Amino acid sequence: MLHTHSVVIAAFPGAELLDVTGPAEVFSVATRVADAGRPGYTVRIATPDGEPVTTSSGVRLMADLTLAEVDDDVDTLLISGAVTVDASGVAPVLHRGIVDWLRDSAPRTRRIGSICAGAHLLAEAGLLDGLPATTHWLTAARLASAHPRVAVDPDPIFIRAGRVWTCAGITSGMDMALAMVAEDHGQDLALSTARMMVMYVKRSGGQSQFSVPLAVSTATGDRIDDLRVWIGEHLTEDLSAEALAARLHLSVRHFSRLFRGRTATTPAAYVESARLEAARRLLQESDRTLPEVAAASGLGSVESLHRAFKRRLGTTPAEYRRRFR
Q: What is the CA radius of gyration of the chain?
A: 22
Question: Is the domain of 235 the same as that of 111?
Answer: no
Q: Report d(CA 176, CA 255) in Å as an integer.
A: 36
Residue at 204 is within a domain? no
Q: Report d(CA 150, CA 171) in Å as an integer.
A: 23
- Whole-number percent of the chain with pLDDT over 90: 58
Q: Which of 152, 157, 184, 180 is nearest to 168 (CA)?
A: 157
Residue at 17 is within a domain? yes
Residue 323 has pLDDT above 80, yes or no: no
Q: Which long-range contacts (CB under 8 A, 24 or more apart) does 287-290 make?
A: 290/317, 290/318
Residue at 179 is within a domain? yes
The parent domain of residue 57 ranges over 5-197
What is the per-residue pLDDT for 218? 41
Confidence band of 201 (pLDDT split at 50, 70, 90): low
Question: Is the domain of 172 the same as that of 242?
Answer: no
- Burial bucket for residue 191 (CB in 10 Å: 0-12, 13-18, 19+): middle
Question: Is the domain of 115 the same as that of 253?
Answer: no
Residue-wise pLDDT for 247-263, tens only, equals: 999 999 999 999 888 77
Lowest mean pLDDT among 10-19, 66-75, 152-161, 178-187: 152-161
What is the per-residue pLDDT for 2? 56
What is the per-residue pLDDT for 170? 83
- Residue range 289-313: mean pLDDT, rounded: 92
Q: How far is CA 214 from CA 22, 248, 273, in A?
A: 19, 20, 12
Last-in-domain residue among 154, 170, 197? 197
Question: Is the domain of 267 the same as that of 156?
Answer: no
Question: Is the domain of 128 the same as that of 70?
Answer: yes
The number of domains in the chain is 2
Last-in-domain residue among 129, 162, 197? 197
Q: Which residues contact 124 (CB under 8 A, 6 or more apart)?
A: 94, 99, 102, 103, 147
- CB atoms inside a 10 Å sphere around CB 245: 19
